[in-house]
Amino acid sequence: MGLLTNPTSRATIVGSITRHNNKICFLCYVVGLSWFLALAYQELNAGTYFSENALLPGLVRSQFYGDSEAEGYYSQLKSELNKDKNIMPVKWIYNQFMDLGLDVYIHNFTFRYPLKIFGEKQIPGQNVYAIMRASRAASTEALVLTVPFRTVTTVMDKTHGGLALMLTMANHFRKSSYWAKDIIFVVTEHEYIGMQAWLDAYHETKSELISSNSLEGHGGSIQAAINLEVPTNKISSFDFRLEGLNGQLPNLDLFNLVVRISRQEGFDVLLKEQHDPYHPETFEGYLQNLKTMFLMMWTQAPGSANNNHGVFLKYNIEALTLVGKKEKGKHAQGYGPMGRTVEGIFRSLNNLLERFHQSFFFYLLPSTSRYVSIGLYMPPFAIMVAGSLIKAVAMWISCTETVEEGVSTEKEKKETDQANGESVQKNEVKDHKEEKEEERKGLLSVIPILFITQLFGLLAYFSPDFFVDLGMPLHLHVAEAVHYGMLALFLSSLAMPRFLKRSLSEKSRPDWKLLKCVSLIVQGLVLFSIALMNISLAFFLAAVMVPVCVAMWPSNNRVVQILHASFLLLISPFLLLYITVVANQMMTEKVADVASLLVQSWDHMKTPLILGMVESQLLGSWTYCVICLGIFPNWLAFWCLIWIGS
């Protein structure tokens, strides 16, 4: 008989797991975590390669030599922008495309911010888009080149160089007859909201808060999109942004293509503003790769649509962003190489007969030439979470064993007390029955707690609008209202165990082992589900939650209780957000001292909170939903666990 079907051997396996479960869980977690971090090492991952042979990158000789034209556009654009620094020069862009002879249209849209930011006002916006038709093809497919318009006074990186480059490329592309797909040039206002409005109108889908008329000019189905964010006319390197809405990534072949062509034209290639290490096999090289991979995961985890390209991925259109950077000490190149890069990318995309489908959609990048595929990162992640599942199994076994032990001791008593007569026997039989009933009731008794925690999650999900309305008579700014409202909700949820103790009697209170078992299983389920789409979010949550949750148990010792409570509080969603903001502040800005860091982080905490809610309503991002309905109830169940008593 097999190992698992043989009851005796199964019993021994299960017995050994239960006896050593602490060690096994600890081992699983440590092995999983270190294995995951070790994946950034060159020997453990793979080099990037082209799966789609039709791309034939860099084989065609570039014919773009329009540097002077591009410089002309750039200076014209600058003078146009200085006339009015706060608006988008829609007419000027429209006229430029018109002069080139392309079909150009202005797309008007309006949108309303959720949570009544800016009240009920509908904010207007305009996108300008021009379609260059392929001269000998049937307009069945299209490629998109987009630039988000930013004014001269913007705090973000400027994009005017990219706009001049786009006009030049439009001029160059229309002179050739070898295009098999239409090329659509889009200049958006309001960043990715404008892009979402345009895409909605193009695909005739409807968004709740963004509304626009249908497009006058239409191309074919979009195969790929490139977003340009080049600040000036001279850059030395290209940085690439891949992460999109909900942590979705474009096809790895598109990234490989863009990297190859940029390198060919003499640009430095950066990923998350990090260079590739010169000696990746050394320890310093490994650390650099680890840093790049970590930064990529840090950007992917929140699931925000960071740039224009992020909203394309939802429509199965592969897109990424090229950010031009001028690094100190590096040789800067002008529009010639930039134009040849864009031309090379588009000529390769032109060769495609099918959508991108060959290469990976789920990966992590330690550098521009190495990747970690889903097949490499899933096993260590699974081992990390396996710790909590093993603990759940151990909890279940120990839970049922105690009942059985109780039954067997009763049986022994029965045998020894046979002399006492039948009445005693009957009593014992009744006890035996009662215990069995208790065991059966045990699983059902977990349900009220889970139900209430889920209700809290629902409250957290639907509360922002309520808090905004509450804050209006108090003249609170929306962000503050939501921030303090969520804090209030969080603190009130902390009081749940006290109410549970009062309302649930001894009998109907669940066995803490059962509650822990069910909560761990739910946690594993939620984490694995998140990992399928957004591995970074799942990894960060697992890394902090699994060790703490596995080691929780209710105790009568006050000190131990306080210790457990503080650890659990540290990984609560609210505090976790605060800690993330602190870490982010430390990474991006130099802060003077700890106190100001903590205070600033408290202030800055509003941003991701609001952004999560805004994006979930505006663009359909589900990070906020998952945290409210998946992570928060689960955490609350553990919080109840430690206070419930044995």
Footprint of another protein on this chain (CB under 8 A)?
Answer: 56, 59-61, 134-137, 176-180, 347-348, 350-351
- State the residue for tokens 């419930």: 644
Q: State in angstroms the smallest separation of the CB of 579 from another protein.
A: 51
Residue 347 vs 606, nearer CB to another protein? 347
Using the structure block, give the residue that is written with the tokens 């050994």.
16
* Token couple for 66: 């329009």
| Element containing residue 366 per DSSP (H, E) | strand 363-367
CB of 176 to another protein, least distance (A): 7
Distance between CA atoms of residues 378 and 374, nearest Å: 6
Residues in the chain: 646
Q: Which contiguous run of DSSP H or E holds residue 168?
A: helix 160-173
Indicate the residue among 351 and 580 with the shorter CB distance to another protein: 351
Nearest CB to another protein, comparing residues 118 and 178 = 178
Q: Tokens for 322, please give them.
A: 């090229």
Closest listed residue to residue 498, CA positions, set 291, 296, 643, 306: 643
Distance (Å) of CA 343 to CA 52, 66, 158, 354: 19, 12, 22, 20
Least spacing, CB of residue 591 vs another protein, in Å: 51
For tokens 């309001």, the residue is 190
- Given the complex with another protein, which of 169 and 201 has the nearer CB atom? 169
| Smallest separation, CB 297 to another protein (Å) | 36
Smallest separation (angstroms) from another protein to the CB of 131? 16
d(CA 568, CA 551): 10
* Closest CB 184 distance from another protein, rounded Å: 17
Judged by beta carbon, residue 349 or residue 642, the one nearer another protein is 349
Instruction: Tell the smallest beta-carbon distance from residue 181 to another protein (Å).
Output: 9
Give me the residues paired with residue 239 across strands.
270, 323
Nearer to another protein (CB atom), residue 54 or residue 562: 54
- The backbone region for 266, taken as left when phi is positive above 0, alpha when psi lies in -120 to 50, beta otherwise, is left
State which residue, 181 or 370, has the beta carbon closest to another protein: 181
Least Å distance between CB 69 and another protein?
A: 21
Minimum distance between the CB of residue 344 and another protein, rounded to whole angstroms? Answer: 9
Measured from the CB atom, is 75 or 135 closer to another protein? Answer: 135
| Contact between 339 and 169 (Cβ < 8 Å) | yes
Strand order in the sheet with 182-188: 210-212, 103-111, 123-132, 182-188, 141-148, 221-229, 318-325, 237-241, 268-271
Cβ closest to another protein, residue 181 vs residue 325: 181
CA distance 565 to 569: 6
| Nearest approach, Cβ of residue 141 and another protein (Å) | 11
Q: Which residues contact 435 (CB under 8 A, 6 or more apart)?
A: 403, 406, 407, 410
What is the nearest approach in angstroms of another protein to the Cβ of residue 596?
56
> Smallest distance from the beta carbon of 346 to another protein, in angstroms?
12
> 181 or 509, CB closer to another protein?
181
Give the Cα separation of 643 and 620 in Å (integer).
Answer: 37
CA distance 92 to 98: 10
Whose Cβ is closer to another protein: residue 61's or residue 206's? 61
Contact predicate 548/386, CB 8 Å: no
In order of 411, 415, 421, 580, the CA distances from 425 in angstroms are 10, 9, 7, 62
β 182-188/221-229 pair status: unpaired
**Cβ–Cβ under 8 Å, residues 323 and 150:** no
Task: Name the minimum Å distance from CB 138 to another protein.
Answer: 9
CB 515 within 8 A of CB 644: yes
Six-digit token pair at 32?
């999983």
User: Toward another protein, which CB reaches closer, 136 or 475?
Assistant: 136
Q: How far is the CB of 56 from another protein (least distance, A)?
A: 6
Which of 430, 455, 255, 275 lies closest to 356, judged by CA?
A: 255
If phi > 0 it is left, if psi is from -120 to 50 it is alpha, else beta; for residue 620 that is left
Residue whose C-alpha is closest to residue 374's, from 360, 359, 386: 360
Torsion angle of the four alpha carbons 359, 362, 367, 370, in this order, in degrees rounded to the nearest 10: -50
- 30 versus 60: smaller Cβ distance to another protein: 60
| Tokens, residue 204 | 């005739």
Rounded Cα distance between 282 and 285, Å, is 5
* Nearest CB to another protein, comparing residues 55 and 482: 55
Q: What is the nearest approach in angstroms of another protein to the Cβ of residue 135?
A: 8
Residue number, 61 or 502, with CB nearest to another protein = 61
